[in-house]
Amino acid sequence: MFTDTEIGISNKYAINPSKITNGSSILLCVRAPVGAINYCFRKIAIGRGLCSIEPKDKIDLDYLYYWLKYSKKYFLDNSTGSTFSAITIGTIKNAPFKYCPLNTQINIKNKIKEAFKFLDIVKEQII
């Protein structure tokens, strides 16, 4: 079950899973709702509507998460289908990923986290 940030616990089980996450990845919905993402910090079986994006060396998981979140419009704009929208692996591979050195990725990630903390404080003061 998708949540705001991390995949929730499910009571569903697969007998012969064909796709299993590595335990440190980001799940991306490739079918309705296209572009939704969640962290996945455990090994789970996934179905056709999801893909597991597992960063290679020198790619920060949080940086990748924020980039995928930013790229949702790209995925929606490049989805196809009349009954429900979907994207292909080609759409994901051709997404304009902004690669930069690991230390820059970490700095960007930290700035984004700081901004969200600030917004949480503002939200608390408003409510």
In this predicted structure, what is the pLDDT of residue 122? Answer: 93
Residue 51 neighbours by CB distance under 10 Å = 19
Alpha helices in 1-127 (DSSP H): 61-70, 72-77, 89-93, 102-126
Length of the chain, in residues: 127
User: What is the chain's pLDDT, residue by residue, as a tens digit (127 residues)?
Assistant: 899 999 999 888 888 889 999 999 999 999 989 999 999 999 999 988 999 999 988 999 999 999 999 999 999 999 999 888 999 999 999 999 989 999 999 999 999 999 999 999 998 999 7
- Domains, the chain, in order of start with CATH, read 25-126 (3.90.220.20)
In this predicted structure, what is the pLDDT of residue 33? Answer: 92
In this predicted structure, what is the pLDDT of residue 98? Answer: 87
Residues 51, 92: contact at Cβ < 8 Å? Answer: yes
In this predicted structure, what is the pLDDT of residue 127? Answer: 78
